Structure 1
Amino acid sequence: MSAPFALSLQDLAPIAEGTTTAEAMAETIKLAQAADDLGYTRLWYAEHHGMPSIASSVPEILIGSAAAHTKNIRVGSGGVMLLNHAPLRIAEAYRTLEGLHPGRIDLGLGRAPGGDGYAMRALRSGGGEEFSAYLAELMAFDEDSFPPEHPYSRVPVSPGGVRLPPMWLLGSSGASAQAAGQLGIGYAFAAHFSHTPAAPAFEAYRYAFKGTEAFPRSRAMMCVSVICAPTDEEAQYLSRSQAVSWALFTTGEQRKLMSPEEAHARVLTPQQQSVIDHQSTLWIVGSPETVRDTIAEKAELAGADEVMITTTVHSYELRRRSYALIANAFGVTPRA
């Protein structure tokens, strides 16, 4: 079957037990090239801090690397946690990326800190201001729209002669949907960790939407967690690494992503098992047919224009295989 929606992927740059950080970094390039060849629409990198199992802490560096090693796929942030950064720095970084790779960069923005309270303090996150103020400042820098009396009106954004790439607002409830619509930017809903239904948020987004040059029409993306293998049984087996990793993270025990063998042997506390029982209802795990039918049903119910997939398994090779099986199941046209 051919999907009635675009397919994209998110890479958290997982660091698996038994591998080095350098190997995890090299894998980001391999996955980007594989995604480009498979025909995926876009590839986004998240911003996470203080997590031993995730190497994606500075999206713009990974974006620049991936874009330089691919030809067609759009590459972006999913997303920049704006409260961790001065808006001027983000404006400069993403204008630079857009200048280097015109027409292939996305700027996804989120309001979460991307880490725990300790990481927030280390980043000096927020500065006491609200996300909306940071977002307004970022857009004013890009549009050169500060009032003449504003001190920032005297600050030219470098590099000049290029605008920010298309912007997306990330959300895990309906709170950001209306704002994204009013701004005329894309909206991405985090269905991979939010139990809130995506459909009401998409409806609010489309109702408020006002077209812009970057987005003449609304664009609603649903992000899902998927593990695909040739059989349901193998996919379930591989998913144990993600399940145990999530349980350990939420109960304050962090480490690199363990193998499925070790994860199955791990004895969990009742609290950790409860975390898995709750969160695993959001994960899509199975054979290509199972995964295809489940994704298609969820996308149709939500009214998604695009589905972004994130996959967490211990083996980098099997993670790439998962993305290949999904693309083939939906009849995505390869670029290779």
Structure 2
Amino acid sequence: MAIQLSVLDQSPILQGSSPQEALQQTIELAKRVDQLGYKRFWMSEHHSAQSLAGSAPELLTGIIAQATERIKVGTGGVLLPHYSTYKVAEIFRTLEGLYPGRIDLGVGRAPGGMPGVNYALNKGKYPDVHSFPKQAADLLSYLEGGSPEGYQVYATPLGPTVPPVWILGSSGSSAGLAGELGANYTFAQFINPDGGPAAIQQYYDHFIPSEHQKEPTASAAVFTVVGETEEEAEYLASSLDVSLLMADQGQIRNHFMSPEEAQQYKFSYFEAERVKYNRNRMIVGDVESVKQQLEQMATDFQIDEIIANVIVYPFEKRLDSYEKLAKAFQLNEK
């Protein structure tokens, strides 16, 4: 089974760089992976995060689509409970009108930041995440020209093509919803290392064909670290190890540290166990090892597309990782 590779980019702010540089690196990375033959380039939504610059993926989607030629561009994803479903539909119908056939609309229901983010985005109220299934159904209807909320309004501009909707999640509930709506589904292995194959099987079991989606389509996103050797890969991954640990502990990070800095960190026994657990969210090794691990993951998950999320220091090593993967999987480089 041939595996398709895609990219999830969170605009990480690396040690010694600025948020502005992180955003420029996102554009540079998108241009390069477009040339290398990757299928998709998705951007995440994070709020009040000092180590991630990507807070407005819907805005970046238009900028990246303009800067690239053939790669599909989209969100991984829009956190729907924070927003007007109608407005989201209009944004993505506009993007689809500008770049027909190249736009993906990935949506999720996670809060996307610290607790205060929920209130800041919702006029001092906590968003009703339980309404997410209805919001997702309404979104699909608006995109397809319907008026699901009964207001007799339509998401414009209307056009002959509709951006595909991907339900993003890390549990079986989101997988079942994606299937029932006849949407696509992506499992966030880089967030939750447990239950991916079962969630995707639940998606397949619940899939009902829809107007624009006749067959189930699933993928999974995973942190990926590629080195020249196994030793270098471990070295590069050490900064992600410490960053994920700090996030688990609720520590504020204003950058992703260099491996040199990460190597100085002394783990307690319980921290070392947590790092070991977090490695299940990552695929680490030299290029041949990573290729084999990704192929095994695709088999275990019953998917043919994996979305690689590479956060390593420095930026040049990030580019190099995607170049190595493209060569190993014989992507169609221009």
Structure-2-length-normalised TM-score: 0.93
Q: Structure 1 residues 262-271 or 318-327, which shifts more?
A: 262-271
Checking the alignment, whether the CA contact within 8 Å between 2:283 and 2:290 is kept in structure 1 is: yes
Question: What residue ranges of structure 2 are gaps of 5+ in the alignment?
Answer: none
Task: Tell me the residue number matched to 1:185.
Answer: 183
Task: Tell me the residue number matched to 1:41.
Answer: 39
Task: Tell me the residue number matched to 1:17.
Answer: 15
Matched residues in 2 for 1:270 and 1:51: separation?
28
Q: Which amino acid aligns with 1:139?
A: L
Q: Secondary structure at the match of 2:45?
A: coil
Task: Tell me the residue number matched to 2:85.
Answer: 87
Q: Which amino acid aligns with 1:234?
A: E
Q: Secondary structure at the match of 1:22?
A: helix
Task: Tell me the residue number matched to 1:101.
Answer: 99
Checking the alignment, whether the CA contact within 8 Å between 2:227 and 2:286 is kept in structure 1 is: yes
Task: Tell me the residue number matched to 2:257.
Answer: 258
Q: Structure 1 residues 202-211 or 228-237, which shifts more?
A: 202-211
Task: Tell me the residue number matched to 1:197.
Answer: 195
What does residue range 1-336 of structure 1 map to in structure 2 within 5 Å?
A: 4-124=2-122, 126-127=127-128, 130-146=131-147, 152-153=151-152, 155-161=153-159, 164-255=162-253, 256-269=255-268, 271-335=270-334
Checking the alignment, whether the CA contact within 8 Å between 2:144 and 2:162 is kept in structure 1 is: no
Question: What residue ranges of structure 1 are gaps of 5+ in the alignment?
Answer: none
- Offset at residue 213 of structure 1 (A): 4.3
Matched residues in 2 for 1:249 and 1:164: separation?
37
Matched residues in 1 for 2:277 and 2:200: separation?
24
Q: 1:186 to 1:14 in 2, by over 3 A?
A: same
Q: Which amino acid aligns with 1:65?
A: I
Matched residues in 2 for 1:193 and 1:156: separation?
35
Q: What does the per-residue CA deviation read over 1:131-170, in whole Å, with 9 as the maximum and x for residues that have no partner?
A: 11222332333344346xx6522x3323234664100111
- Offset at residue 66 of structure 1 (A): 0.8
Q: Which amino acid aligns with 2:135?
A: Y
Matched residues in 1 for 2:110 and 2:80: separation?
8
Q: Secondary structure at the match of 1:48?
A: coil
Checking the alignment, whether the CA contact within 8 Å between 1:183 and 1:210 is kept in structure 2 is: yes
CA RMSD of aligned residues (A): 1.8
Checking the alignment, whether the CA contact within 8 Å between 1:142 and 1:163 is kept in structure 2 is: no
Q: Secondary structure at the match of 2:191?
A: coil
Checking the alignment, whether the CA contact within 8 Å between 1:184 and 1:211 is kept in structure 2 is: yes
Q: Secondary structure at the match of 2:142?
A: helix
Aligned pairs, number: 330
Structure-1-length-normalised TM-score: 0.93
Checking the alignment, whether the CA contact within 8 Å between 1:225 and 1:284 is kept in structure 2 is: yes
Q: Which amino acid aligns with 2:23?
A: M
- Offset at residue 246 of structure 1 (A): 1.0
Matched residues in 2 for 1:271 and 1:57: separation?
32
Checking the alignment, whether the CA contact within 8 Å between 2:109 and 2:129 is kept in structure 1 is: no
Q: Secondary structure at the match of 1:218?
A: coil
Q: Secondary structure at the match of 2:263?
A: helix
Q: Which amino acid aligns with 1:319?
A: R
Q: What does the per-residue CA deviation read over 1:156-202, in whole Å, with 9 as the maximum and x for residues that have no partner?
A: 32323466410011121211222211211111011122132322222
- Offset at residue 271 of structure 1 (A): 4.9
Matched residues in 2 for 1:136 and 1:242: separation?
36
Checking the alignment, whether the CA contact within 8 Å between 2:47 and 2:113 is kept in structure 1 is: yes
Q: Secondary structure at the match of 1:176?
A: helix
Checking the alignment, whether the CA contact within 8 Å between 2:225 and 2:310 is kept in structure 1 is: yes
Q: Structure 1 residues 284-293 or 3-12, which shifts more?
A: 3-12
Matched residues in 1 for 2:271 and 2:9: separation?
25
Checking the alignment, whether the CA contact within 8 Å between 1:12 and 1:55 is kept in structure 2 is: yes
Checking the alignment, whether the CA contact within 8 Å between 1:193 and 1:279 is kept in structure 2 is: no
Q: 1:31 to 1:220 in 2, by over 3 A?
A: same
Q: What does the per-residue CA deviation read over 1:20-52, in whole Å, with 9 as the maximum and x for residues that have no partner?
A: 111111111110011101100001011111211
Checking the alignment, whether the CA contact within 8 Å between 2:81 and 2:132 is kept in structure 1 is: yes
Matched residues in 1 for 2:99 and 2:144: separation?
20
Matched residues in 2 for 1:186 and 1:156: separation?
23
Q: 1:109 to 1:176 in 2, by over 3 A?
A: same
